[in-house]
Amino acid sequence: MPRWGMVIDVKRCIACWGCAIACKEEHFLPPGVFFNRVLIGETGKFPTSSKIIYPILCNHCSDAACVEACPTGATYVREDGIVAVDDEKCVGCRACLVSCPYQQRTYYDQKVKDREYFPGQGKTEMELIGEKLYPFKVGTVIKCNFCSERLEDGMKKGLTPGKDEDASPACVNICPVNARIFGDLDDPDSEINRLIMEKKGKQLRKEFGTEPAVYYID
């Protein structure tokens, strides 16, 4: 069984937000909900300051704080390492949301569901279709799932996640500068393991001990 992970090459990233928007389209996310974001900051002082750009998403931690906090078992780490939410079991207590050091979860309530991209002008056809194609349950917590539907559908067709578009997460496919590399952390020969080794991949806020499956290289 693979353990899916991602390497984000911060050096390549140009902060275009393609990942964030492609993700919104893939999952039909309402306004204000992001499974992918880009954090932009600065370090240092003029004239030697530099810009920091960090695309972030759920880290699919193997020792996930959210899983630990979930009282119902709705949030769990799948065999393939993906941290998933079973919306049949979620009671909406948001313990996961509060405990995630990366703040990668969103509580989906009626207010969120009712939001419109063109406020006051009604939902667009796309938003309405999205509610059918990719329905979220009100009162549950939603999050990045590494596009597990794409992965599963793709693998059924014999495709390889990380290599074939139809078996890879939307944010990986959209990236115009190939800053996202997806693959199997359990495969010692995978490209992501090679990059993590060669470029000394870093996990975000390792000190929380959550063991993220997303690594950053620069």
Partner 1 sequence: MSNKIHELEQIMFPPDGSGLKPYEWMVNPTRQRQWIDDKGLFLWLAFFFSEIGAGLYFVSLFYAYKLGLILGWLITLVLGGVIHVLYLGNPLRAWRMIMKPNTSELSRGIWIIGVFAALGLLQIVTSGGFNMVFSTIMGILCLLIISHGFATMNVIRALPAWSSTMVLPLSLISGVWIGHQILQFMVSVSGSAALASGMEVWAEVFFFAYFLCIVLYVWGTWHSNEIGKESIKMQLRGDLLKISFIGIGLLAITVPLILALIMWGGDTNSFLIFLRLACVIAGDLALRYVIMKSAVYKPLI
Partner 2 sequence: MTYKTDEIWEDKWVNTTCGVCYCGCAAKVRVVNGVPVKVEGIKDSTMGGDGSGLCGKGTAGLMYYHDPNRIKKPLLRTNPEKGIGVDPKWKEIEWDEALEIIATKMKKIMEDDPNKILFTNQTMRASDGPHNHPYFYAQAFGVKNNGNFIIGGGSLHCGNACHMLGGLIHGAWSIAPDWRYTKYVLKWGSSKGTGSGHSAMTNARLRADAIRRGIKEVVFDPMGNFAGGKATEWVAILPGTDTAVGLAIANYIANIRGEMDILYLKAKTNFPYLIKDDGTYIRHEESDKPLIFDSREAKIKEYDDPTLAWEDCALDGEYEYNGERVRPCFVPFKEHLKQYTIEWASEISTVPVATILKVCKEWVDNAQIGSTITLEGKTYPYRPVSSVTFRGSQGHSNGIHQVAAIDLMSQLVGAEDVPGGTLGWPAIRRAYPGGNYEQTCKAGKDGVIVPSVFYSHDPWPVHAPSLPATNMGCVDIWTHCTLSHIPYVDEIDYIHEKFGMKSKPEMIFGIAANFVISNSDWDTAIKNFKDCFVVQMDLWVNETDQAIGDIILPDVSYLEKDCWSSEIDAFFFSGSPSHEDWYVHMQQPVAKPIGESRFFMDVYIDVANRCGVLDKFNAKLNDYYGVTDPELTIKPGEVLTWKEIGERFLKWVYGKDTEKIKEQGYATWNKPIEDVYWRWDIDTRCPVYMEYLLHDRKRMEEIFEQTGFDLEFDMDQYSALPSWFWPESHKDLDSEFDLIAFSYRDILHTNNTTFQNPYIDEVSKMCPYTFTITLNSSLAKEKGMKDGDVIWIETKAGVKENGIVKTMEAQSPKVIGIAGQGGLWADGRPIAKGKGSNFCKLLPSKLKYFDPVAGNMETAVAVKIYKD
Compute the 3-state secondary structure of the chain and give helix, strand, coil in percent, each to the nearest 5. 30, 20, 50
Site string for partner 2, 147-176 (x = CB under 8 A): --x---------------x----x--xxxx
Could you tell me the smallest distance in angstroms from the CB atom of residue 203 to partner 2? Answer: 21
Could you tell me the smallest distance in angstroms from the CB atom of residue 108 to partner 1? Answer: 8
Residue of 112, 113, 116, 69 whose CA lies nearest to 91: 69
Residues in the chain, how many? 218
Stretch that binds partner 2, among 20-28, 62-70, 100-108, 205-213 (CB under 8 A): 20-28
* Cα(205)–Cα(35) distance, integer angstroms: 18
Strands of 4-49, DSSP E: 4-9, 36-43
* Contacts (CB under 8 A) with partner 2, residues 103-132: 117-118, 121-122, 124-126, 129-130, 132
* Cα(91)–Cα(1) distance, integer angstroms: 30
Could you tell me the smallest distance in angstroms from the CB atom of residue 120 to partner 2? Answer: 8
Binding site for partner 1 (CB under 8 A): 37, 39-41, 52, 54, 56, 65, 67-74, 89-95, 97-103, 107, 109, 137-141, 204-205, 208-209
Could you tell me the smallest distance in angstroms from the CB atom of residue 141 to partner 2? Answer: 13
Cα dihedral 130, 133, 134, 137, rounded to 10, equals 90
Residue by residue, DSSP assigns 150-215 as: HHHHHHHTT--TTTSGGGS-HHHHH-TT--EEEEETT-TTSHHHHHHHHTT-EETTGGG----SEE
Site string for partner 2, 51-90 (x = CB under 8 A): x-x---------------------------------x---
Could you tell me the smallest distance in angstroms from the CB atom of residue 155 to partner 2? Answer: 15
Question: Exposed, middle or buried by CB within 10 Å (0-12, 13-18, 19+), for 196?
Answer: buried
The footprint of partner 2 (CB under 8 A) covers: 9, 11-12, 14-18, 20-22, 24-26, 28, 31-32, 37-38, 40-42, 44-47, 49-51, 53, 87, 117-118, 121-122, 124-126, 129-130, 132-136, 149, 165, 170, 173-179
